[in-house]
Structure 1
Amino acid sequence: MTSKSLRWWQGGVLVAVFVAWHLLSRNEQTAFFIGEPIKVAGRIWSWFLPVEVAPNALFPEGLPGRADIYVHLGITLLETVLAFFFGTVLGLVFGLWLALAPMASAILDPYIKALNSMPRVILAPIFALWFGLGIWSKVALAVTLVFFIVFFNVYQGVREVSPVILANARMLGANRRQLLRTVYLPSATSWVFSSLHTSVGLAFVGAVVGEYLGSARGVGYLILQAEGTFDVNTVFAGIVVLTAFALALDALVGRIERRLMKWQPRQGEAEKL
Protein backbone atom coordinates (compact mmCIF):
# COMPACT_ATOMS: atom_id res chain seq x y z
CA MET A 1 0.00 0.00 0.00
CA THR A 2 1.44 3.37 -1.02
CA SER A 3 1.73 6.30 1.36
CA LYS A 4 -0.94 8.24 -0.57
CA SER A 5 -3.48 5.42 -0.47
CA LEU A 6 -2.73 4.91 3.22
CA ARG A 7 -3.58 8.55 3.89
CA TRP A 8 -6.85 8.15 1.99
CA TRP A 9 -7.78 5.11 4.09
CA GLN A 10 -6.90 6.93 7.31
CA GLY A 11 -8.99 9.93 6.24
CA GLY A 12 -11.84 7.61 5.29
CA VAL A 13 -11.87 6.06 8.75
CA LEU A 14 -12.05 9.53 10.33
CA VAL A 15 -14.92 10.57 8.05
CA ALA A 16 -16.78 7.32 8.78
CA VAL A 17 -16.46 7.91 12.53
CA PHE A 18 -17.86 11.44 12.26
CA VAL A 19 -20.70 10.33 9.98
CA ALA A 20 -21.65 7.56 12.43
CA TRP A 21 -21.41 10.04 15.31
CA HIS A 22 -23.68 12.50 13.47
CA LEU A 23 -26.27 9.84 12.66
CA LEU A 24 -26.36 8.59 16.25
CA SER A 25 -26.65 12.13 17.61
CA ARG A 26 -29.84 12.77 15.62
CA ASN A 27 -31.67 11.05 18.48
CA GLU A 28 -32.04 13.65 21.25
CA GLN A 29 -31.69 11.13 24.07
CA THR A 30 -28.51 9.69 22.56
CA ALA A 31 -27.15 13.17 21.81
CA PHE A 32 -27.42 14.05 25.51
CA PHE A 33 -24.72 11.45 26.23
CA ILE A 34 -22.48 11.57 23.14
CA GLY A 35 -22.95 15.16 21.99
CA GLU A 36 -23.41 16.42 18.44
CA PRO A 37 -20.35 16.79 16.16
CA ILE A 38 -21.67 19.94 14.47
CA LYS A 39 -22.21 21.65 17.82
CA VAL A 40 -18.80 20.45 19.01
CA ALA A 41 -17.25 22.03 15.91
CA GLY A 42 -19.26 25.20 16.56
CA ARG A 43 -17.99 25.35 20.13
CA ILE A 44 -14.39 25.05 18.94
CA TRP A 45 -15.07 27.75 16.34
CA SER A 46 -16.43 30.10 19.02
CA TRP A 47 -13.34 29.43 21.15
CA PHE A 48 -10.69 30.21 18.59
CA LEU A 49 -12.47 32.74 16.38
CA PRO A 50 -14.10 35.48 18.47
CA VAL A 51 -16.97 35.96 16.05
CA GLU A 52 -20.44 35.88 17.55
CA VAL A 53 -22.98 33.65 15.81
CA ALA A 54 -26.61 34.73 16.04
CA PRO A 55 -29.24 32.13 17.00
CA ASN A 56 -30.31 30.06 14.01
CA ALA A 57 -31.79 26.67 13.18
CA LEU A 58 -28.48 24.88 13.70
CA PHE A 59 -27.50 26.75 16.88
CA PRO A 60 -30.74 27.85 18.59
CA GLU A 61 -28.83 29.51 21.44
CA GLY A 62 -26.21 31.06 19.16
CA LEU A 63 -22.48 30.99 19.83
CA PRO A 64 -20.78 33.59 21.99
CA GLY A 65 -17.77 35.26 20.46
CA ARG A 66 -14.95 34.83 22.96
CA ALA A 67 -11.28 33.97 22.77
CA ASP A 68 -10.55 33.05 26.39
CA ILE A 69 -9.58 29.57 25.21
CA TYR A 70 -6.16 31.02 24.41
CA VAL A 71 -5.59 31.79 28.09
CA HIS A 72 -6.77 28.36 29.26
CA LEU A 73 -4.93 26.51 26.51
CA GLY A 74 -1.77 28.52 27.12
CA ILE A 75 -1.79 27.49 30.79
CA THR A 76 -2.30 23.81 29.93
CA LEU A 77 0.43 23.87 27.26
CA LEU A 78 2.85 25.60 29.64
CA GLU A 79 2.20 22.97 32.32
CA THR A 80 2.63 20.20 29.75
CA VAL A 81 5.90 21.54 28.33
CA LEU A 82 7.40 22.14 31.78
CA ALA A 83 6.40 18.69 32.97
CA PHE A 84 7.70 17.10 29.79
CA PHE A 85 11.05 18.89 30.13
CA PHE A 86 11.64 18.27 33.84
CA GLY A 87 10.34 14.70 33.72
CA THR A 88 12.56 13.87 30.74
CA VAL A 89 15.68 15.43 32.26
CA LEU A 90 15.16 13.76 35.63
CA GLY A 91 14.39 10.40 34.01
CA LEU A 92 17.49 10.65 31.84
CA VAL A 93 19.79 11.60 34.73
CA PHE A 94 18.52 9.00 37.18
CA GLY A 95 18.28 6.32 34.49
CA LEU A 96 21.92 6.82 33.51
CA TRP A 97 23.06 6.99 37.12
CA LEU A 98 21.37 3.80 38.30
CA ALA A 99 22.25 1.89 35.12
CA LEU A 100 25.94 2.72 35.70
CA ALA A 101 25.84 2.20 39.48
CA PRO A 102 24.85 -1.44 40.18
CA MET A 103 25.11 -1.08 43.95
CA ALA A 104 22.84 1.97 44.11
CA SER A 105 20.45 0.28 41.68
CA ALA A 106 20.23 -2.82 43.88
CA ILE A 107 19.58 -0.74 47.01
CA LEU A 108 16.94 1.53 45.46
CA ASP A 109 15.23 -1.12 43.30
CA PRO A 110 12.34 -1.96 45.70
CA TYR A 111 11.65 1.73 46.35
CA ILE A 112 11.58 2.56 42.64
CA LYS A 113 9.17 -0.32 42.00
CA ALA A 114 6.97 0.83 44.89
CA LEU A 115 6.84 4.41 43.59
CA ASN A 116 6.12 3.23 40.05
CA SER A 117 3.26 1.01 41.20
CA MET A 118 1.67 3.85 43.17
CA PRO A 119 -1.36 5.49 41.49
CA ARG A 120 0.18 8.93 41.01
CA VAL A 121 -3.20 10.66 40.76
CA ILE A 122 -3.56 10.34 44.54
CA LEU A 123 -0.56 12.65 44.88
CA ALA A 124 -2.51 15.58 43.38
CA PRO A 125 -3.93 16.79 46.75
CA ILE A 126 -0.46 16.58 48.31
CA PHE A 127 1.09 18.61 45.50
CA ALA A 128 -1.73 21.14 45.79
CA LEU A 129 -0.91 21.46 49.50
CA TRP A 130 2.81 21.85 48.80
CA PHE A 131 2.73 24.08 45.71
CA GLY A 132 -0.74 25.65 45.86
CA LEU A 133 -3.38 25.67 43.13
CA GLY A 134 -1.13 27.35 40.55
CA ILE A 135 0.65 25.67 37.67
CA TRP A 136 3.42 24.03 39.73
CA SER A 137 1.15 21.51 41.44
CA LYS A 138 0.00 20.35 37.96
CA VAL A 139 3.57 20.28 36.70
CA ALA A 140 4.65 18.17 39.67
CA LEU A 141 1.86 15.65 39.07
CA ALA A 142 2.67 15.40 35.36
CA VAL A 143 6.40 15.02 36.09
CA THR A 144 5.67 11.89 38.12
CA LEU A 145 3.97 10.38 35.06
CA VAL A 146 6.70 11.33 32.59
CA PHE A 147 9.65 10.48 34.83
CA PHE A 148 9.14 6.73 35.13
CA ILE A 149 8.53 6.22 31.40
CA VAL A 150 11.81 7.93 30.51
CA PHE A 151 13.67 6.46 33.47
CA PHE A 152 12.94 2.81 32.67
CA ASN A 153 13.67 3.27 28.96
CA VAL A 154 17.02 4.94 29.63
CA TYR A 155 17.89 2.36 32.26
CA GLN A 156 17.08 -0.50 29.88
CA GLY A 157 18.89 1.13 26.97
CA VAL A 158 22.12 1.56 28.94
CA ARG A 159 21.96 -1.92 30.44
CA GLU A 160 21.62 -3.48 26.98
CA VAL A 161 24.86 -2.02 25.62
CA SER A 162 26.84 -4.78 23.92
CA PRO A 163 29.69 -6.03 26.15
CA VAL A 164 31.80 -6.46 22.99
CA ILE A 165 31.47 -2.76 22.14
CA LEU A 166 32.37 -1.81 25.72
CA ALA A 167 35.40 -4.11 25.69
CA ASN A 168 36.60 -2.69 22.37
CA ALA A 169 36.18 0.89 23.59
CA ARG A 170 38.14 0.14 26.75
CA MET A 171 40.88 -1.52 24.71
CA LEU A 172 41.20 1.70 22.72
CA GLY A 173 41.72 3.60 25.97
CA ALA A 174 38.27 5.16 26.45
CA ASN A 175 37.72 6.51 29.96
CA ARG A 176 34.39 6.61 31.81
CA ARG A 177 33.38 10.01 30.41
CA GLN A 178 34.21 8.95 26.85
CA LEU A 179 32.26 5.72 27.30
CA LEU A 180 29.28 7.73 28.48
CA ARG A 181 29.44 10.10 25.49
CA THR A 182 30.28 7.63 22.72
CA VAL A 183 28.71 4.35 23.86
CA TYR A 184 26.08 4.66 26.59
CA LEU A 185 24.26 7.80 25.39
CA PRO A 186 23.97 6.69 21.73
CA SER A 187 22.67 3.32 22.92
CA ALA A 188 20.05 4.96 25.12
CA THR A 189 19.01 7.58 22.54
CA SER A 190 16.63 5.37 20.57
CA TRP A 191 15.06 4.17 23.82
CA VAL A 192 14.69 7.75 25.00
CA PHE A 193 12.87 8.91 21.87
CA SER A 194 10.56 5.90 21.91
CA SER A 195 9.59 6.86 25.45
CA LEU A 196 9.14 10.54 24.60
CA HIS A 197 6.22 9.80 22.26
CA THR A 198 4.40 8.23 25.21
CA SER A 199 5.59 10.92 27.60
CA VAL A 200 3.97 13.72 25.58
CA GLY A 201 0.54 12.20 26.11
CA LEU A 202 1.21 11.52 29.78
CA ALA A 203 2.38 15.10 30.33
CA PHE A 204 -0.97 16.28 28.95
CA VAL A 205 -2.80 13.77 31.14
CA GLY A 206 -1.02 14.94 34.27
CA ALA A 207 -1.64 18.61 33.52
CA VAL A 208 -5.33 18.15 32.71
CA VAL A 209 -6.01 15.82 35.65
CA GLY A 210 -4.35 18.33 37.97
CA GLU A 211 -6.54 21.11 36.57
CA TYR A 212 -9.54 18.86 36.86
CA LEU A 213 -8.93 18.23 40.56
CA GLY A 214 -8.29 21.83 41.52
CA SER A 215 -7.74 24.87 39.34
CA ALA A 216 -9.24 28.11 38.12
CA ARG A 217 -7.64 28.06 34.67
CA GLY A 218 -6.75 25.56 31.97
CA VAL A 219 -8.59 23.31 29.54
CA GLY A 220 -9.18 20.77 32.32
CA TYR A 221 -10.97 23.50 34.26
CA LEU A 222 -13.16 24.26 31.22
CA ILE A 223 -14.06 20.59 30.88
CA LEU A 224 -14.91 20.38 34.59
CA GLN A 225 -17.17 23.44 34.35
CA ALA A 226 -18.91 21.96 31.32
CA GLU A 227 -19.49 18.65 33.11
CA GLY A 228 -21.06 20.54 36.01
CA THR A 229 -23.71 21.91 33.65
CA PHE A 230 -24.08 18.66 31.62
CA ASP A 231 -22.70 20.44 28.55
CA VAL A 232 -21.39 17.36 26.77
CA ASN A 233 -20.61 19.27 23.57
CA THR A 234 -18.12 21.51 25.38
CA VAL A 235 -16.59 18.45 27.04
CA PHE A 236 -15.99 16.84 23.66
CA ALA A 237 -14.73 20.15 22.26
CA GLY A 238 -12.13 20.29 25.03
CA ILE A 239 -11.13 16.69 24.34
CA VAL A 240 -10.73 17.38 20.61
CA VAL A 241 -8.60 20.48 21.26
CA LEU A 242 -6.35 18.62 23.73
CA THR A 243 -5.97 15.71 21.32
CA ALA A 244 -5.04 18.01 18.44
CA PHE A 245 -2.33 19.77 20.43
CA ALA A 246 -1.02 16.48 21.86
CA LEU A 247 -0.65 15.17 18.31
CA ALA A 248 1.12 18.38 17.30
CA LEU A 249 3.63 18.00 20.14
CA ASP A 250 4.12 14.34 19.28
CA ALA A 251 4.82 15.29 15.66
CA LEU A 252 7.38 17.85 16.87
CA VAL A 253 9.11 15.15 18.92
CA GLY A 254 9.10 12.89 15.85
CA ARG A 255 10.71 15.61 13.73
CA ILE A 256 13.43 16.18 16.34
CA GLU A 257 13.97 12.42 16.52
CA ARG A 258 14.47 12.16 12.75
CA ARG A 259 17.02 15.00 12.84
CA LEU A 260 19.03 13.56 15.72
CA MET A 261 18.79 9.92 14.61
CA LYS A 262 20.02 10.32 11.02
CA TRP A 263 22.79 7.86 11.77
CA GLN A 264 20.24 5.11 12.45
CA PRO A 265 18.91 3.32 9.33
CA ARG A 266 15.17 3.40 8.73
CA GLN A 267 13.15 0.21 8.92
CA GLY A 268 13.04 -0.24 5.12
CA GLU A 269 16.75 0.43 4.79
CA ALA A 270 17.56 -2.00 7.59
CA GLU A 271 15.58 -4.75 5.85
CA LYS A 272 17.51 -4.18 2.62
CA LEU A 273 20.77 -4.54 4.53
Structure 2
Amino acid sequence: MNRTLMRVWQVGLLLVILLVWYFASNASDNVAFFFGKPVEVAQKLWRWFVTDADIYKHLGVTLVETLLAFAIGTLVGLGVGLWLALSPFASAVLDPYLKAANAMPRVILAPIFAMWFGLGIWSKVALAVTLVFFIVFFNVYQGVREVSPVVLANARMLGANARQLMRHVYVPSAMSWVFSSLHTSVGLAFVGAVVGEYLGSANGVGYLILQAEGSFDINTVFAGIVLLTVFALVLDGLVGLAERHLMKWQPSSGQTEKL
Protein backbone atom coordinates (compact mmCIF):
# COMPACT_ATOMS: atom_id res chain seq x y z
CA MET A 1 0.00 0.00 0.00
CA ASN A 2 1.20 3.53 -0.76
CA ARG A 3 2.89 5.11 2.27
CA THR A 4 0.94 8.37 1.95
CA LEU A 5 -2.35 6.48 1.84
CA MET A 6 -1.28 4.50 4.89
CA ARG A 7 -0.60 7.74 6.78
CA VAL A 8 -4.04 9.02 5.81
CA TRP A 9 -5.63 5.88 7.25
CA GLN A 10 -3.59 6.17 10.44
CA VAL A 11 -4.49 9.84 10.96
CA GLY A 12 -8.10 9.07 10.12
CA LEU A 13 -8.23 6.34 12.78
CA LEU A 14 -6.78 8.76 15.35
CA LEU A 15 -9.42 11.35 14.48
CA VAL A 16 -12.19 8.76 14.82
CA ILE A 17 -10.89 7.76 18.26
CA LEU A 18 -10.72 11.41 19.37
CA LEU A 19 -14.24 12.12 18.08
CA VAL A 20 -15.69 9.07 19.82
CA TRP A 21 -13.90 10.10 23.01
CA TYR A 22 -15.15 13.70 22.69
CA PHE A 23 -18.80 12.86 22.12
CA ALA A 24 -18.87 10.03 24.66
CA SER A 25 -17.31 12.17 27.40
CA ASN A 26 -19.75 15.01 26.74
CA ALA A 27 -22.74 12.68 26.64
CA SER A 28 -21.99 10.82 29.86
CA ASP A 29 -20.60 12.06 33.18
CA ASN A 30 -19.42 8.54 33.98
CA VAL A 31 -17.30 8.43 30.82
CA ALA A 32 -15.94 11.90 31.60
CA PHE A 33 -15.07 10.83 35.16
CA PHE A 34 -13.20 7.67 34.15
CA PHE A 35 -11.71 8.77 30.82
CA GLY A 36 -11.59 12.55 31.06
CA LYS A 37 -12.37 14.97 28.24
CA PRO A 38 -10.01 15.40 25.27
CA VAL A 39 -10.48 19.18 25.23
CA GLU A 40 -9.53 19.49 28.90
CA VAL A 41 -6.58 17.14 28.38
CA ALA A 42 -5.39 19.39 25.55
CA GLN A 43 -5.89 22.46 27.73
CA LYS A 44 -3.82 20.87 30.49
CA LEU A 45 -0.99 20.16 28.04
CA TRP A 46 -1.19 23.77 26.81
CA ARG A 47 -0.92 25.09 30.37
CA TRP A 48 2.02 22.76 31.07
CA PHE A 49 3.98 23.89 28.04
CA VAL A 50 2.83 27.47 27.38
CA THR A 51 0.68 29.19 29.99
CA ASP A 52 2.34 27.98 33.20
CA ALA A 53 5.42 26.41 31.53
CA ASP A 54 5.98 24.26 34.62
CA ILE A 55 6.36 20.88 32.92
CA TYR A 56 9.89 21.30 31.65
CA LYS A 57 11.62 20.51 34.93
CA HIS A 58 9.54 17.36 35.48
CA LEU A 59 9.84 16.25 31.85
CA GLY A 60 13.58 16.84 31.91
CA VAL A 61 13.99 14.61 34.97
CA THR A 62 11.99 11.78 33.41
CA LEU A 63 13.84 12.05 30.08
CA VAL A 64 17.25 12.02 31.77
CA GLU A 65 16.28 8.92 33.76
CA THR A 66 14.93 7.24 30.64
CA LEU A 67 17.89 8.04 28.40
CA LEU A 68 20.45 6.98 31.01
CA ALA A 69 18.62 3.71 31.62
CA PHE A 70 18.23 3.10 27.90
CA ALA A 71 21.92 3.73 27.20
CA ILE A 72 23.28 1.77 30.17
CA GLY A 73 20.87 -1.15 29.74
CA THR A 74 21.62 -1.36 26.01
CA LEU A 75 25.41 -1.26 26.41
CA VAL A 76 25.47 -3.79 29.25
CA GLY A 77 22.97 -6.07 27.51
CA LEU A 78 24.99 -5.90 24.30
CA GLY A 79 28.26 -6.67 26.07
CA VAL A 80 26.94 -9.51 28.22
CA GLY A 81 24.97 -10.98 25.31
CA LEU A 82 28.07 -11.09 23.09
CA TRP A 83 30.21 -12.52 25.87
CA LEU A 84 27.88 -15.35 26.81
CA ALA A 85 27.01 -16.18 23.21
CA LEU A 86 30.72 -16.66 22.47
CA SER A 87 31.52 -18.42 25.77
CA PRO A 88 29.56 -21.69 26.05
CA PHE A 89 31.01 -22.55 29.48
CA ALA A 90 30.08 -19.18 31.06
CA SER A 91 26.68 -19.36 29.38
CA ALA A 92 25.99 -22.83 30.81
CA VAL A 93 27.05 -21.75 34.32
CA LEU A 94 25.02 -18.52 34.36
CA ASP A 95 21.98 -19.76 32.44
CA PRO A 96 19.77 -20.69 35.46
CA TYR A 97 20.64 -17.45 37.25
CA LEU A 98 19.82 -15.30 34.24
CA LYS A 99 16.52 -17.11 33.72
CA ALA A 100 15.65 -16.68 37.40
CA ALA A 101 16.50 -12.97 37.32
CA ASN A 102 14.45 -12.49 34.15
CA ALA A 103 11.47 -14.36 35.62
CA MET A 104 11.48 -12.20 38.74
CA PRO A 105 8.99 -9.29 38.68
CA ARG A 106 11.62 -6.57 38.70
CA VAL A 107 9.24 -3.84 39.85
CA ILE A 108 9.62 -5.26 43.37
CA LEU A 109 13.25 -4.12 43.25
CA ALA A 110 12.21 -0.46 43.28
CA PRO A 111 12.13 -0.14 47.11
CA ILE A 112 15.53 -1.85 47.33
CA PHE A 113 17.04 0.52 44.77
CA ALA A 114 15.51 3.44 46.67
CA MET A 115 17.34 2.25 49.80
CA TRP A 116 20.61 1.73 47.92
CA PHE A 117 20.64 4.85 45.73
CA GLY A 118 18.24 7.20 47.52
CA LEU A 119 15.24 8.97 46.02
CA GLY A 120 17.22 10.77 43.31
CA ILE A 121 17.40 9.80 39.66
CA TRP A 122 19.73 6.81 40.12
CA SER A 123 17.18 4.58 41.83
CA LYS A 124 14.85 5.13 38.85
CA VAL A 125 17.68 4.55 36.40
CA ALA A 126 18.63 1.29 38.13
CA LEU A 127 15.07 -0.03 37.95
CA ALA A 128 14.70 0.91 34.29
CA VAL A 129 18.10 -0.66 33.46
CA THR A 130 16.87 -4.01 34.77
CA LEU A 131 13.94 -3.82 32.33
CA VAL A 132 16.02 -2.78 29.32
CA PHE A 133 18.96 -5.11 29.95
CA PHE A 134 17.17 -8.43 29.61
CA ILE A 135 15.37 -7.46 26.41
CA VAL A 136 18.64 -6.45 24.74
CA PHE A 137 20.65 -9.31 26.26
CA PHE A 138 18.40 -12.13 25.08
CA ASN A 139 18.09 -10.69 21.58
CA VAL A 140 21.85 -10.21 21.19
CA TYR A 141 22.52 -13.66 22.62
CA GLN A 142 20.07 -15.28 20.21
CA GLY A 143 21.31 -13.26 17.26
CA VAL A 144 24.93 -14.26 17.78
CA ARG A 145 24.05 -17.90 18.40
CA GLU A 146 22.18 -18.03 15.10
CA VAL A 147 25.12 -16.96 12.96
CA SER A 148 25.32 -19.28 9.97
CA PRO A 149 28.07 -21.92 10.45
CA VAL A 150 28.73 -21.70 6.70
CA VAL A 151 29.46 -17.97 6.95
CA LEU A 152 31.75 -18.55 9.93
CA ALA A 153 33.59 -21.36 8.15
CA ASN A 154 34.07 -19.23 5.04
CA ALA A 155 35.35 -16.29 7.07
CA ARG A 156 37.84 -18.49 8.92
CA MET A 157 38.93 -20.08 5.66
CA LEU A 158 39.69 -16.58 4.33
CA GLY A 159 41.92 -15.98 7.34
CA ALA A 160 39.65 -13.87 9.59
CA ASN A 161 40.88 -13.63 13.17
CA ALA A 162 38.68 -13.37 16.28
CA ARG A 163 38.48 -9.58 16.10
CA GLN A 164 37.53 -9.61 12.42
CA LEU A 165 34.92 -12.30 13.05
CA MET A 166 33.40 -10.13 15.76
CA ARG A 167 33.32 -7.03 13.57
CA HIS A 168 32.27 -8.52 10.25
CA VAL A 169 30.23 -11.58 11.20
CA TYR A 170 28.90 -11.69 14.76
CA VAL A 171 27.94 -8.03 15.22
CA PRO A 172 26.23 -7.61 11.81
CA SER A 173 24.34 -10.85 12.40
CA ALA A 174 23.07 -9.61 15.76
CA MET A 175 22.23 -6.04 14.64
CA SER A 176 18.73 -6.81 13.39
CA TRP A 177 18.00 -8.54 16.71
CA VAL A 178 19.48 -5.59 18.60
CA PHE A 179 17.31 -2.99 16.90
CA SER A 180 14.25 -5.17 17.33
CA SER A 181 14.94 -5.19 21.07
CA LEU A 182 15.64 -1.44 21.16
CA HIS A 183 12.17 -0.59 19.85
CA THR A 184 10.73 -2.48 22.82
CA SER A 185 13.30 -1.17 25.28
CA VAL A 186 12.36 2.48 24.68
CA GLY A 187 8.93 1.91 26.22
CA LEU A 188 10.36 -0.18 29.05
CA ALA A 189 12.87 2.52 29.91
CA PHE A 190 9.97 4.96 30.35
CA VAL A 191 8.09 2.35 32.40
CA GLY A 192 11.01 1.89 34.78
CA ALA A 193 11.50 5.64 35.21
CA VAL A 194 7.82 6.36 35.82
CA VAL A 195 7.29 3.43 38.20
CA GLY A 196 10.32 4.59 40.18
CA GLU A 197 8.83 8.09 40.37
CA TYR A 198 5.56 6.59 41.58
CA LEU A 199 7.27 4.90 44.51
CA GLY A 200 9.29 7.86 45.69
CA SER A 201 10.07 11.16 44.03
CA ALA A 202 9.44 14.88 44.15
CA ASN A 203 9.97 15.42 40.42
CA GLY A 204 9.12 13.79 37.12
CA VAL A 205 6.05 13.15 35.00
CA GLY A 206 5.31 10.01 37.02
CA TYR A 207 5.21 12.17 40.15
CA LEU A 208 2.69 14.54 38.50
CA ILE A 209 0.50 11.61 37.43
CA LEU A 210 0.60 10.19 40.97
CA GLN A 211 -0.45 13.54 42.45
CA ALA A 212 -3.30 13.79 39.94
CA GLU A 213 -4.51 10.28 40.76
CA GLY A 214 -4.62 11.19 44.44
CA SER A 215 -7.02 14.04 43.69
CA PHE A 216 -9.02 12.09 41.03
CA ASP A 217 -7.89 14.54 38.34
CA ILE A 218 -8.30 12.16 35.41
CA ASN A 219 -7.59 14.85 32.80
CA THR A 220 -4.11 15.46 34.21
CA VAL A 221 -3.51 11.70 34.34
CA PHE A 222 -4.37 11.38 30.65
CA ALA A 223 -2.30 14.46 29.84
CA GLY A 224 0.69 12.76 31.45
CA ILE A 225 -0.01 9.54 29.55
CA VAL A 226 -0.22 11.44 26.25
CA LEU A 227 3.01 13.29 27.03
CA LEU A 228 4.93 10.11 27.84
CA THR A 229 3.51 8.34 24.78
CA VAL A 230 4.55 11.14 22.43
CA PHE A 231 8.11 11.23 23.75
CA ALA A 232 8.35 7.43 23.67
CA LEU A 233 7.31 7.56 20.00
CA VAL A 234 9.92 10.27 19.33
CA LEU A 235 12.67 8.13 20.87
CA ASP A 236 11.42 5.09 18.98
CA GLY A 237 11.57 7.15 15.79
CA LEU A 238 15.19 8.08 16.54
CA VAL A 239 15.98 4.39 17.00
CA GLY A 240 14.32 3.76 13.64
CA LEU A 241 16.50 6.41 11.98
CA ALA A 242 19.62 4.86 13.44
CA GLU A 243 18.45 1.45 12.28
CA ARG A 244 17.91 2.63 8.70
CA HIS A 245 21.34 4.30 8.70
CA LEU A 246 23.26 1.35 10.14
CA MET A 247 21.34 -1.38 8.33
CA LYS A 248 21.66 0.00 4.79
CA TRP A 249 23.21 -3.28 3.71
CA GLN A 250 20.01 -5.14 4.55
CA PRO A 251 17.40 -5.26 1.73
CA SER A 252 14.11 -3.48 2.40
CA SER A 253 10.83 -5.39 2.55
CA GLY A 254 9.91 -4.07 -0.91
CA GLN A 255 13.17 -5.32 -2.37
CA THR A 256 12.73 -8.66 -0.67
CA GLU A 257 9.28 -9.07 -2.18
CA LYS A 258 10.63 -8.31 -5.68
CA LEU A 259 13.36 -10.88 -5.22
Cα offset, 1:151, TM superposition: 0.2
Matches within 5 A, 1:1-273: 1-26=1-26, 27-50=28-51, 66-273=52-259
1: distance between equivalents of 2:7 and 2:153?
Answer: 46
| In structure 2, C-alpha distance between the alignment counterparts of 1:121 and 1:68, rounded to whole Å | 29
Deviation at 1:25, TM superposition (A): 0.7
Q: Name the CA distance, whole Å, in 2 between partners of 1:259 and 1:191.
A: 15
Mapped partners of 1:206, 1:40: distance in 2: 24
In 1, the alpha carbon distance for the partners of 2:217 and 2:162 equals: 59
Following superposition, the deviation at residue 123 of structure 1 comes to 0.2
Deviations 1:64-86, CA, capped at 9 Å, x for gaps: xx112000000000000000000
1:46 to partner: Cα distance: 0.3
Alpha-carbon distance in 2 for matches of 1:137, 1:272:
50
**Which segment is superposed worse, 256-265 or 3-12?**
3-12
Find the aligned partners of 2:87 and 2:108 in 1 and give their Cα distance: 31
Opposite residue 34 of structure 1, the aligned amino acid is F
In the alignment, the residues of structure 2 paired with residue 152 and residue 30 of structure 1 have an alpha-carbon distance, to the nearest angstrom, of 42
Structure 1 residue ranges (4+ consecutive) displaced by more than 6 angstroms after TM superposition: none
Secondary structure of 2:168's counterpart equals helix
AA paired with 2:234? A
In structure 2, how many angstroms separate the alpha carbons of the residues matched to 1:260 and 1:90? Answer: 20
Spell out, residue by residue over 1:76-120, the C-alpha distance to the aligned partner (whole angstroms, 9 max, x if none). Answer: 000000000000000000000000000010010000000000000
Q: Which amino acid aligns with 1:263?
A: W
Aligned-partner residue type, residue 22 of structure 1: Y
CA distance in 2, matches of 1:118, 1:219: 26
User: For residue 7 of structure 1, what is the amino acid of its counterpart?
Assistant: R
Deviation for aligned residue 1:125: 0.1
Rounded Cα–Cα distance in structure 1 between residues aligned with 2:30 and 2:234: 34
Report the aligned-residue RMSD: 0.7
Partner of 1:56: none
Where does the alignment leave 5 or more consecutive residues of structure 2 unmatched?
none
Query: 2:21 & 2:118 partners in 1: Cα distance?
Result: 40
Q: Which moved more, 1:187-196 or 1:25-34?
A: 25-34
Instruction: Give per-residue Cα distances to partners, 1:9-54, cap 9 Å, x unaligned.
Output: 111110111111111111223211110100000000000002xxxx
Q: Kindly indicate whether structure 1 or structure 2 has the higher relative contact order, using CA contacts under 8 Å at least 6 residues apart.
A: 2
TM-score (norm 1): 0.93
Q: Judge which range, 3-12 or 232-241, deviates more.
A: 3-12
**Mind listing any 5+ residue stretches in structure 1 that lack a counterpart?**
51-65
Shift of residue 180, structure 1, vs aligned partner: 0.7
Pairwise CA distance, 1:160: 0.3
Any idea what SS the aligned residue of 2:201 has?
A: coil
SS state of the match for residue 14, structure 2?
A: helix
